[in-house]
Amino acid sequence: MARVVLENLTKQYPEKSGANVTAVRGINLEIADGEFMVLVGPSGCGKSTTLRMIAGLEEISGGTVAIDGRVVNAVLPKDRDIAMVFQNYALYPHMSVYDNLAFGLKMRGRPRDEIEARVREAAAMLGLEALLPRRPKALSGGQRQRVALGRAIVRQPKVFLFDEPLSNLDAKMRGSTRTELAKLHARLKATMIYVTHDQVEAMTMGDRICVMKDGAIMQVAKPLTLYHEPANLFVAGFIGSPPMNLFPGAVEIADGVAASFVVAGGAWRVPLSAEVAGRVGDFRGLPLTLGVRPEHVRVDPAGTAGASVAARIELVEPMGAETFLHLAAGPTTFVARAVPHEEHRVGGEVAVTFAADRAHLFDSASGAALRTAC
DSSP 8-state symbol, 368: B
What whole-number distance in Å separates Cα of residue 73 and Cα of residue 66? 8
What whole-number distance in Å separates Cα of residue 352 and Cα of residue 296? 10
**Structural domains of the chain, with CATH:** 4-232 (3.40.50.300), 245-363 (2.40.50.140)
What whole-number distance in Å separates Cα of residue 299 and Cα of residue 107? 62
Report, as an integer, the average pLDDT of 322-342: 89
The model's pTM is: 0.88
Sign of the CA dihedral running 20, 364, 42, 77:
positive
pLDDT at 302: 57
Rounded to 10°, the helix 141-153/112-126 angle is: 140
Phi, psi angle pair for 162, to nearest 5°: -125, 120
pLDDT tens per residue across span 260-304: 888 887 678 888 888 887 778 777 778 999 999 999 998 875 554
Strand pairing category for 159-163 and 82-85: parallel
pLDDT band for 142, please (50, 70, 90 cuts). confident
Phi, psi angle pair for 43, to nearest 5°: -60, 135
- Structural contact between residues 216 and 263, judged by C-beta atoms closer than 8 angstroms: no
Strand pairing category for 4-14 and 159-163: unpaired
What whole-number distance in Å separates Cα of residue 118 and Cα of residue 282? 62
pLDDT tens per residue across span 43-101: 999 999 999 999 999 999 999 999 999 999 999 998 999 999 887 778 899 999 999 99
pLDDT band for 374, please (50, 70, 90 cuts). very low
